[in-house]
Structure 1
Amino acid sequence: MVAPSPNCRQETLPLSAKHVPGIMGSSLCHLILDVRDLSRSLAFYHGLLGFAIDREEDFDGHRLAYLATGPCQLLLVQQPSEDQNPLLDRRGGLVINFRVEDLPSVAERVRSSGVTVLRQLEMALWGERTLLVADPDGYAVLLSEPVGAAHAR
């Protein structure tokens, strides 16, 4: 079990008309990614994408890094050993979407760094420029930038 971040936003947003028992609110506090090599993941998320590191810590043999991503934190967790992490190779259909500014510049930095590009820079049907890449552990990361009418949303 990972300790909750003291920086976690504790506000409770209103739920729909029906309350779901057991749900304490509707705000997302952390997106937690299990990683094989925390240093390599920090080079991607902090060094390449520019997310600020809120803090790093060791917790019961786990190496943790909390990254600022707006109202929610991205929590990178390296287990004491890979065999203690049965979820690492079960990414399923997970795609992490980050909005960025000046996606063409970000795309150039990503390409020149050797990151695996899963789908080239393109204009999506919903009015955003997008670039789909793989992080060091193979998680799909969609970088997007609203354009035109989509920007007003």
Structure 2
Amino acid sequence: MDVKFQSTVLFVRDVPASRQFYEGLLGMQVVADFGLNVGYTGGLAIWEAEYANQLIYNRPASAGKLGCDNVEVYFEAADLDEVAAQLAEAQVPTAHPIQAQPWGQRVLRVYDPDGYLIEIGEPLDVVVVRFRKEGLSPEAIAETMYMPLEAVQGILQDASA
């Protein structure tokens, strides 16, 4: 099983305020800006709590303190089905089985022994290549995945090399 750690995602109530803290005060560099989700060099990301809670749990964020059911640790695995089977065999409790996210990436979410939410998703380059094999144009892939067209074209070029 080839699973590697990718990112820690912190759910936040106010993305602009969090960006000011992480970028303005701590000097973190943005590597991916999807509006409600911002990724930084080094593996930290922030995600707007209301959107994240609706997407993952199909419920609004609790009005209480953050840090309970709103922090997830993110990993990637190219063979998500193999990982899911191994986790099921080990009887790891799941938040949900493999499902496609709105941008097409397949993910599953499980709980670690302490109840922390762990997400394991396909690498985005795997999703781009899968969409291309399914017949989507680079432009359609970029639109579906909310990615810059240049990034999609670069992934496809690397995959064909």
TM-score for the superposition, normalised by structure 2: 0.40
Greater helix content:
2
TM-score for the superposition, normalised by structure 1: 0.42
